Amino acid sequence: MSKIQSQIFQNWTFKACEDQEWMPAQVPGCVHTDLLKLDKIPDPFYGTNEKEVQWIDKKDWEYRTEFDVNEDLLSQEHLQIVFEGLDTYADVYVNEQHVLSADNMFRVWSVDVKSIVKSNDNVLRIRFRSPIQEDLPKLEKLGYALPASNDQSDVGGLGDKRVSIFARKAPYHYGWDWGPRFVTSGIWREARLEGWSEVKINDVFIRQNEVTASVASLTAIVEVETASPIETVIRIGTDGQTWEQTAALQSGVQTIEIPIAIDAPKLWWSRGLGDPHMYSFVTEVLQGEQVVADSTVKTGLRSIRLVRDKDEAGASFYFELNGVAVFAKGANHIPNDSFITEITAERYRHEIVSAAESNMNMLRVWGGGIYEEDVFYELCDEYGLLVWQDFMFACSMYPGDEAFLNSVKHEAIDNVKRLRNHPSIVLWCGNNEIDSAWAHYIEDGGWGWKKDYNAEQREKIWADYEAIFHELLPEVVEAYAPGVDYWPSSPLVSLTGDEKQHAHPSTAEGDIHYWGVWHSVEPFENYNVHVGRFMSEYGFQSFPEYKSVRKYAEEEDLALESEVMLAHQKNGAGNRLIKQYMDMYMHEPKDFPSFLYMSQVLQAEAMKTAIEAHRRRKPFCMGTLYWQMNDCWPVASWAGMDYFGNWKALQYYAKRSFSDVLISVDGTKEDATDIYLISDQLQPVEGRLQVRLIGFDGTVYREEKHAVALESNSGKLVLSLKSSDWLQGHDAATTLLRLDLKQDGHADIVQEHYFAPSKDIGLKKAAIQVTEVQENDGVYLVLESDVLAKQVWISSEAEGVFSDNFFDLIPGIPVKVQFTSREGLQNAGAASETGAIQVRSMADFIKL
């Protein structure tokens, strides 16, 4: 019986090409991490060390390993070296014979070495050419620079010579407005020797032709490769069912299509709507009774489409899963580390579990990073998170020469084929923000890029853009992943070929990135004004918490304008903007550690305003993805979870604002308090809404109860109060509205509303009492306060998350929370001891 045999290459060494000394290397890895592990460079993430390691990307580097091959593997008819990822310009030598040149980080590279490899003492050597030295001549040859506004060429000592657009390499490696510039080289995914004889299965795609609750009509597309012609039977099985087809295979690569029908299939659902059920399909190639090749793939059965129907306002933009309109709730995902190979499976799981625990159902894999590791998508499948998948192009214009287009085509095919069985992937998007940045059809539109080019250059640059994003990429998606929609650029109105194509904050069609709040210093209230059909980006920055900041800064660095704080703030005006908004909305913090806390509350309040404004507009608006989920290094940024995995205030706020049933208050109208009930559940909501006017000392001044009912998967205004009538002359600065939705058999849904702006609220130091309570499912903390305690922050010695945090504690209304350790978050049943805890509220951080 012949099966694929493989041997992973180990015991690597590396050196700069100009040096003599070989040093131990870790593969997968990169030059930066190998040098760091050997103490050859300082920690790139600490202090201002980023600038100390910029010399690395100007050199050529090589990696080397020696290997033997056992007789069984050596005797196979085919023997290939397979590289899942080479970063980026690489020449590969086996026993000093050149066998391969690679030039795309995102491609799989393989080469037959049967005639070169021997039993013992083989040498595999890979020379990585400097991506900077490789691409500077391309810039010179082009004769003009292409826009690449996030390429921090100045940090790299290159002045304004931005070369990132020439390399098919993770764009964020060259810097971004939240990330450092570390232009890596190395073997970043598995490298192995692979042997086979007779026949092997290269790929199995379970194409979903039509999936309903009654039947799933599928086609298994099996790509097989044979050494010589053979008569076979190809058998596919799942859940006790099998399908067979005879096939006369010719030598070489061919595809066999096998129709499959599954009655009453268990459907794959996103989080909140049902079980994300997965099927395992086992494919076998048989000669007689002998299995000569096999393969197992997993997929979930679901129907998915992007619905863009014309309506009175413009056109819809939402995802329909198994016939259900899904309101997308989530965030934009960036790589979890500047050095990709440092991201463990545990770190991926922590991010995805955090998203699911925060009531999210979608992540957007943003186009300036990488096509993520398999484990990322497997976790999204498992937890029912939809994935909006960008191709890796962002905020730049790209070349359009034949070699570049050919490289992009192979990259797209490799990644679409690798990822297409994941039910979580519901959209392929061409790029991030390029259509709106260039704004080809509006002379003064976009980011001002066009003014740097003459008419002929503009047309050439735009023609190159269209060749990639309007022709090449959609053709690949249609050919290799039919059934999943393609969207050319985010944001976009629609592909009209005129000025109506480009997105802007008031568009009633397509998707929107709204950055008026933050970049244009517009007030938070404008989140209520600029609501589109699908809000795919918007955001607000904060700092990590004190213990995270101290991992990259000393006490003497703790000042907004210190060199270290500015080095860990990649958005030029970022620190100033946080302070400017804090002056607008918050009390004054008493010191720098307090400023860190206040920045998180400020960010959380901004995102609550945005998320709930979007959800109140359901079904006009059907998606809200804030920027951003995570960080790639310790930094002040838009992330809701810092580099070390600590939940910021935003993550807890998002959990509440994304809850499947939400009470949301719109207090923007003069003397009106509008109360909305929104549900993403597939069951109706019925209950009693308790409305109480409460003083900050706990006194209940007024109380009413209202029966409320809501149809499934909908939202509506359920109550409108006249604010002045309700306040009854009580001071708005010391009075709040407490809303509790009580449903039989369900936990209360709660919301607080304040009549005065945050900075005008009269706060006093609170005496917060914490009591430990043992219940059947674990230990809980019960918190009570003598006066209103706003944004109560429970911090623990152990790493983990609380069931709620950064909440308001009202006298007479205790709050019960449970701690789950980071390990417990991922493995139910793991111990979740908090260790020492500290409980503080807003009054502890401000000048009273």
Which are the catalytic amino acids? 433
The residues, ordered by sequence, that sit 6+ positions from 803 with a Cβ below 8 Å of its Cβ are 817, 818, 819, 820
Tokens 């720098």 belong to 592
CA atoms within 13 A on the CB side of 426: 30
What tokens appear for 452 in the block? 């740097």
The residues, ordered by sequence, that sit 6+ positions from 35 with a Cβ below 8 Å of its Cβ are 41, 53, 56
Please spell the DSSP secondary structure of 455-495, one letter per residue.
HHHHHHHHHHHHIIIIIIHHHHHHHHSTTSEEESSBSBS--
> Would you say 284 and 291 are in contact if contact means Cβ atoms under 8 Å apart?
yes
Cα of 551 vs its chain's centroid, Å: 24
Tell me, what amino acid is at 807?
A: F
For residue 272, which of 640, 661, 537 has the smallest C-alpha distance? Answer: 661
The angle, 0 to 180 degrees and rounded to 10, between the axes of the packed helices 374-383 and 345-357 is 30
> Would you say 772 and 780 are in contact if contact means Cβ atoms under 8 Å apart?
yes
> Would you say 200 and 224 are in contact if contact means Cβ atoms under 8 Å apart?
yes
For residue 26, which of 322, 342, 364 has the smallest C-alpha distance? Answer: 342
> Would you say 288 and 233 are in contact if contact means Cβ atoms under 8 Å apart?
no
Please spell the DSSP secondary structure of 647-699, one letter per residue.
B-HHHHHHHHHT-SEEEEEE--STTEEEEEEEE-SSS-EEEEEEEEEEETTS-
Percent helix, percent strand, percent coil in the chain, to nearest 5: 25, 35, 40
For residue 135, which of 403, 413, 390, 448 has the smallest C-alpha distance? Answer: 403
The residues, ordered by sequence, that sit 6+ positions from 510 with a Cβ below 8 Å of its Cβ are 308, 315, 317, 491, 492, 493, 494, 503, 532, 533, 534
For residue 632, which of 431, 343, 394 has the smallest C-alpha distance? Answer: 343
Tell me, what amino acid is at 242?
A: T
**Whole-number Å distance between alpha carbons of 663 and 689:** 10
> Would you say 42 and 49 are in contact if contact means Cβ atoms under 8 Å apart?
yes
Please spell the DSSP secondary structure of 342-373, one letter per residue.
G--HHHHHHHHHHHHHTT--EEEE-TTS-PPP
Tell me, what amino acid is at 519?
A: H
The residues, ordered by sequence, that sit 6+ positions from 415 with a Cβ below 8 Å of its Cβ are 106, 371, 391
